[in-house]
Amino acid sequence: MKVIAVTGMPGSGKEEFVKVAEEEGISVVRMGDVVRKEVENRGLELTDPNIGRIANEEREKHGFGIWAKKTVPIVKGETVLIDGVRGYAELEVFKRSFAGELTVVGIHTSPQFRYERIIKRQRKDATMTWESFCEMDSRELGWGIGDAIALCDHMIVNEGSLDEFRENVKGLLLTLK
């Protein structure tokens, strides 16, 4: 088994990275789906504040690696991409669980590019103001996402065209499969 974990700030291009991986026949497990399912199971509306609150509550109650621990059992296949690593504790869980099989990829995109993308995609749980975007970034950084990005095995900068990014992702995935 080969496991590729992808990390990056919200709006950096993780979803497009996932699309390319799926096109290349790679199975995908989204950590955000694990969190969103928990929010739905609690009967709450899927909003950024609710998702952030539940994610944070579980981290405070069970430790910062809780979402990785809840993700590990659903990682199955020859080559699997885990989308949405948020911090060092999650990386540690994945490193223990997939020893020698894990490669971490980070995506870097400037805040202004990311904000514009988030506004454009109009996702149900999307942040819509610059203030709430900055609050979301602060929350993500508080969870240790900066550490996860800093510890990547590979980094892709995503500030060019979509085609350029997709080609960069495809090239990297071909070397990792």
Please report, for the domain that includes residue 96, its CATH number.
3.40.50.300
Domain of residue 102, residue span? 2-172
Please check whether residue 97 lies inside any domain of the structure: yes
Look at the chain and report how many structural domains it folds into. Answer: 1
- CA count, 13 A, side-chain hemisphere, 150: 7
The reported pLDDT for the residue numbered 86 is: 87
The reported pLDDT for the residue numbered 107 is: 97
The reported pLDDT for the residue numbered 105 is: 97
Q: Which residues of the chain have pLDDT under 50?
A: none
Name the token pair of 173. 């995935």
Please check whether residue 121 lies inside any domain of the structure: yes
Q: Among the residues of 63-161, which ranges form H helices?
A: 66-71, 88-97, 111-121, 130-142, 145-150
Please check whether residue 27 lies inside any domain of the structure: yes
The reported pLDDT for the residue numbered 159 is: 95
Please check whether residue 16 lies inside any domain of the structure: yes
Please tell me the distance from the alpha carbon of residue 7 to that of residue 168, in angstroms, as a whole number. 16
71: closest CA among 53, 41, 96?
Answer: 96
Please check whether residue 115 lies inside any domain of the structure: yes
Please check whether residue 138 lies inside any domain of the structure: yes
- For the entire predicted model, the pTM comes to 0.86
The reported pLDDT for the residue numbered 126 is: 62
9: closest CA among 175, 131, 143?
Answer: 143
Please check whether residue 177 lies inside any domain of the structure: no
Please check whether residue 119 lies inside any domain of the structure: yes
